[in-house]
């Protein structure tokens, strides 16, 4: 076993949520008559943590409007949260990896409250040994989440693999000294993901499963 610890991003990697998050960012901006980011910009900021994501999506956002935009995003997202599903095959892959003896963890841009809600809704609490969210530590692409997981689970960084759908995930792994695999079915396109030199780029969960079966 090359990778003892496999760390997962959540939105766009395990959860099929990217289009919903994009729409919620755009709807929140419309509510406040703010400039509405296009799909490309709104998807690019996914994974950074809500506060930073909204700041980047709307560069002209004032300090006064920022908390209002956060509130409107949360309003729209919470009305749709229960409709979101895991990517086909993702849950089965997680359990198969756990059964093989891998430690599994999450490093996400979601809040702790949002992650716990999703883990509970999809009955995944028992799959992950540990999790990190940006409201408790450093947000991506700072290496803090991976460094904390490596230390807490006593796994050296050379035996840690990060899996994510954004350059924020891949850059976090690079900054921490961990290997990474990019999934191209989430927020960032293949040509952008390749700039961070992941070990592999996979286009669906089955392809990811096949790669892990050989390399993990």
Of 80-94, 158-172, 197-211, the one with minimum mean pLDDT is 80-94
Q: Which runs of consecutive H residues, i.e. helices, occur in 45-127?
A: 50-57, 66-80, 90-99, 112-121
**What's the confidence (pLDDT) of residue 80?**
87
- pLDDT band for 1, please (50, 70, 90 cuts): confident
Q: What is the value of pTM for the model shown?
A: 0.93
- pLDDT band for 81, please (50, 70, 90 cuts): confident
Instruction: Please determine, for residue 67, whether its predicted confidence score (pLDDT) is greater than 90.
Output: yes
Instruction: Please determine, for residue 174, whether its predicted confidence score (pLDDT) is greater than 90.
Output: yes
**Surface-to-core class of residue 40, CB atoms within 10 Å of its CB (0-12 exposed, 13-18 middle, 19+ buried):** exposed
Instruction: Please determine, for residue 112, whether its predicted confidence score (pLDDT) is greater than 90.
Output: yes
Of 20-29, 42-51, 99-108, 193-202, the one with minimum mean pLDDT is 42-51
Within the chain, what is the greatest distance between any pair of CA atoms? 53
pLDDT digits (tens, 9 = 90+) for 38-63: 999 999 998 888 889 999 999 999 99
**What's the confidence (pLDDT) of residue 47?**
85
Instruction: Please determine, for residue 25, whether its predicted confidence score (pLDDT) is greater than 90.
Output: yes
- pLDDT band for 29, please (50, 70, 90 cuts): very high
- Give ∠ CA 152-158-163 in degrees, rounded to 5: 80
CA 117 vs CA 12, 120, 123, 155, 171: distances in Å: 17, 5, 10, 27, 27
Task: Name the superfamily (CATH) of residues 5-16+86-215.
Answer: HAD superfamily/HAD-like (3.40.50.1000)
């Amino acid at each position: 076993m090359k990778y003892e610890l496999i760390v997962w991003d959540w939105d766009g990697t395990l959860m099929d949520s990217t289009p919903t998050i994009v729409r919620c960012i755009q709807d929140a901006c419309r509510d406040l008559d703010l400039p509405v980011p296009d799909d490309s910009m709104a998807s690019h900021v996914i994974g950074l943590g809500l506060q930073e994501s909204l700041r980047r999506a709307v560069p002209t956002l004032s300090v006064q409007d920022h908390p209002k935009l956060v509130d409107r995003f949360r309003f729209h997202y919470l009305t749709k949260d229960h409709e979101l599903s895991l990517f086909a095959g993702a849950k089965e892959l997680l359990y198969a990896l756990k059964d093989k003896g891998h430690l599994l963890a999450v490093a996400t841009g979601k809040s702790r409250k949002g992650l716990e809600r999703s883990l509970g809704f999809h009955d995944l609490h028992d799959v992950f040994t540990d999790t990190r969210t940006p409201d408790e530590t450093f947000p991506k692409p700072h290496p803090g989440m991976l460094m904390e997981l490596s230390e807490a689970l006593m796994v050296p960084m050379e035996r840690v693999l990060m899996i994510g759908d954004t350059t924020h995930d891949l850059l976090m792994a690079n900054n921490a000294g961990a290997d990474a695999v990019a999934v191209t079915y989430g927020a960032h396109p293949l040509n952008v993901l390749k700039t961070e030199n992941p070990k592999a780029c996979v286009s669906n969960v089955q392809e990811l499963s096949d790669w892990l079966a050989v390399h993990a």
